[in-house]
Amino acid sequence: MNEFLTDAALFLPVLLRGLWTTILLTLCALVVSVMLGLVWATMARARFGPLRAAAATIINVVRGIPIIVQLFCVYFVLPEAGINLYPFAAGVIGLGLAYSVYQAENFRAGFEAVDPALLEAAKSLGMDDRLAMRRVVLPLGIRIALPPFGNTTVMLLKDSSIASTITIAELTRAGQLLAISTFKNGTVYVLIALLYLAASLPLAAGVRMLERRMATR
Amino acid sequence: MIAIEGIHKAFGANHVLRGVTFTVEAGEVVCLIGPSGSGKSTVLRCINGLERADSGSIRVAGQELGDATLPAIRRSVAMVFQRFNLFPHRTVLENVVEGPVHVLKEPRAEAEARGRDLLARVGMGDRADEFPMRLSGGQQQRVGIARALAMRPQAVLFDEPTSALDPERVGEVLQVMRSLAEEGMTMIVVTHEIAFAREVADRAIFMDGGTVVEQGAARAMLTDPQEPRTRLFLDRVLRPL
Ligand SMILES: Nc1ncnc2c1ncn2[C@@H]1O[C@H](COP(=O)(O)OP(=O)(O)OP(=O)(O)O)[C@@H](O)[C@H]1O
Ligand SMILES: [Mg+2]
């Protein structure tokens, strides 16, 4: 136990730096996934058929490819097309894209759960489709989508470990390097696990709090 | 003000409106009565374009309802719903100014001042900053009326505005509607409140099976209807046992 603690004290600064990268990566990918997800979900509601078809295709294709493969595509294949990305940027784009389809599904379900009578109320006030979307469907749908959104965000935090495969020094990779150089696999991976928990538990609690605040309205 | 001529509407095989024709003059209060499923709601929904009639014509203030005129007509005809349909994520005042600010593009301060006046008028002046969920049905419906009036409509359509209310809450809403009628607002009211219709409405229209069966001066028609079907319906509504 004593040895664990002294090792932990030694490793923690390195791992915390990795955790910081993990959090940064998760937040950036979250922003990308939410923005893209809203685009897909809005397209999926469009009047114009081809737009709906495009949304459905994007969602099915992206959902059908493993995240690690998507990351490799962004990191290794794009440079061949002349687009060179820093690993971190590739990670943000890859994870953001991969998660955008889950976010889109959350939002789509949320939009669909908005009482159609409220949409009619908006229209009867003279709102066109776009204004009604912005003022009524979007804010209410996002509220409904909040619980699944929270789950998705926690999953994204955990899946950000996949970015270790494209040389981003986030928590998992920082730990791997440490384990390789010190042979203290047990200590390192227990610490990594604890650090992921330390990040995801408050995240889940935060989403629940947000949910409760909005539910009182 | 509103002229409906020969409108038909079918939902699949269900032919709901079979040639409905009537007119409503400016300042007139018309009550639309009839059994469940006779198409009363569908008529109202066609007038403000929530449904599109299959054939026939609807004119509002001289304008024929169509794709081009729909936005303008929606702005001049307001609607009050049976289940209120207030926006749950906005306060009472925000509900009322939603249309003026975002559709009519009124400056917010001006819209809010007007909104507070309207809320005071329906007896909800002291609840402006609450969320709709905290209000009783009668209070929500009064806010619904204020929200409709905030659009400065030329006519207001009411679809069974008191049907979802506890009996002791019906009066407060009817009271607001009565004062609105006295101020000369053009109103079409779908209602089962025959006493209200008799007293407040200028004219009554009885619909059954998707057509207008009888129409006439409200007091006379609701006291002594000419058509057997109207008589039967009124007997049932007024003496349910
Ligand atoms: N959107 C819709 N899709 C399919 N059928 C509909 C739709 N709206 C109404 N109907 C049908 O049209 C008929 C007339 O409905 P409507 O709501 O106009 O009747 P109503 O006179 O308002 O009756 P109530 O007193 O019950 O409100 C009903 O048979 C109803 O099932
Ligand atoms: Mg109805």
Q: B6-20 pLDDT, tens per residue? A: 999 999 999 999 999
The pLDDT assigned to A84 comes to 83
- Average pLDDT on B131-154 reads 95
Question: What ranges do the domains of chain B cover?
Answer: 2-238
Question: Which residue's entry shows tokens 């905290």?
Answer: B134
Beta-carbon neighbour count of residue A81 at 10 Å?
A: 7
- CB-CB under 8 Å, A135 with B102: yes
Question: What ranges do the domains of chain A cover?
Answer: 1-216
Kindly give the pairing relationship between strand B55-60 and strand B63-64.
antiparallel
Cα torsion A12, A13, A14, A20: sign: positive
- In this predicted complex, what is the ipTM? 0.92
Could you give the C-alpha distances from A1 to A4, A6, A7, A182, B139, in angstroms and in order? 5, 9, 10, 17, 66
The pLDDT assigned to A32 comes to 97
For A:179-198, CB contacts with B below 8 A are none
* pLDDT exceeds cutoff 80 at B39: yes
Measure B37 CA to ligand 1 centroid, in angstroms.
5
Per-residue model confidence as pLDDT tens digits over B194-234: 999 999 999 999 999 999 999 999 999 999 999 999 999 99
How far apart are the C-alpha atoms of B200 and B31, rounded to whole Å?
9
Q: Please tell me if residue A123 touches chain B, with a CB cutoff of 8 Å.
A: yes
The whole-chain average pLDDT of chain B stands at: 94
Q: What is the CATH number of domain A1-216?
A: 1.10.3720.10
pLDDT bucket at B125, cuts 50 / 70 / 90: very high
The candidate with the shortest Cα–Cα distance to A43, out of A28, A56, A61, is A56
Structure-token pair, residue A87: 């690993």
- CB-CB under 8 Å, A120 with B81: yes
Cβ-Cβ contacts under 8 Å, A131 against chain B = 102-103
The pLDDT assigned to A217 comes to 55
Could you give the C-alpha distances from A72 to A88, A95, A169, in angstroms and in order? 13, 11, 16
* Burial letters B39-62, b for 16+ CB under 10 A, else e: bbbbbbbbbbbbbebeebebbbbe
Question: At B23, is the secondary structure helix, strand, or coil?
Answer: strand
The pLDDT assigned to B33 comes to 95
| Residue of A115, A124, A131 with shortest CB distance to B50 | A124
Element (H, E) at A109: helix A87-113
Residues in chain A, total = 217
CA B75 to chain centroid: 14
Contact predicate B92/B84, CB 8 Å? no
Specify the residue with its C-alpha closest to ligand 1, atom 1: B11
Residue of B nearest to A120 (CA): B50
Contact predicate B147/B86, CB 8 Å? yes
Q: Please tell me if residue B74 touches chain A, with a CB cutoff of 8 Å.
A: yes
- With both helix axes pointing from N to C terminus, report the angle between B108-121 and B137-149 in degrees, rounded to the nearest 10: 130
Instruction: From the CA of B51, give the closest atom in ligand 1.
Output: 1
Cβ-Cβ contacts under 8 Å, A128 against chain B = 71
How far apart are the C-alpha atoms of A37 and A95, rounded to whole Å?
12
Question: At B3, is the secondary structure helix, strand, or coil?
Answer: strand
Per-residue model confidence as pLDDT tens digits over B149-174: 999 999 999 999 999 999 889 999 99
Residues in chain B, total = 241
Contact predicate A31/A162, CB 8 Å? no
Residue of A nearest to B67 (CA): A128
Question: Which residue's entry shows tokens 């409220």?
Answer: A118
Kindly give the pairing relationship between strand B55-60 and strand B186-190.
unpaired
- Average pLDDT on B63-81 reads 92
Question: Which residue's entry shows tokens 């004593």?
Answer: A2
List chain A pLDDT tens, one digit each, 217 residues.
688 888 888 888 989 999 999 999 999 999 999 999 999 999 998 888 999 999 999 999 999 999 999 999 889 888 888 888 889 999 999 999 999 999 999 999 999 999 999 999 999 999 998 999 999 999 999 888 888 888 899 999 999 999 999 888 889 999 999 889 888 888 889 999 999 999 999 888 888 888 787 765 5
Cα torsion A62, A63, A69, A72: sign: positive
How far apart are the C-alpha atoms of A26 and A199, rounded to whole Å?
11
Q: What is the CATH number of domain B2-238?
A: 3.40.50.300
How far apart are the C-alpha atoms of A163 and A173, rounded to whole Å?
8
Beta-carbon neighbour count of residue A57 at 10 Å?
A: 10
**pTM across the whole model:** 0.85
Contact predicate A87/A167, CB 8 Å? yes
| Residue of A120, A126, A128 with shortest CB distance to B85 | A120
How far apart are the C-alpha atoms of A107 and A110, rounded to whole Å?
5
Q: Please tell me if residue A113 touches chain B, with a CB cutoff of 8 Å.
A: no
> Which residues have any ligand 1 atom within 6 Å of their CB?
B 11, 14, 16, 34, 36-42
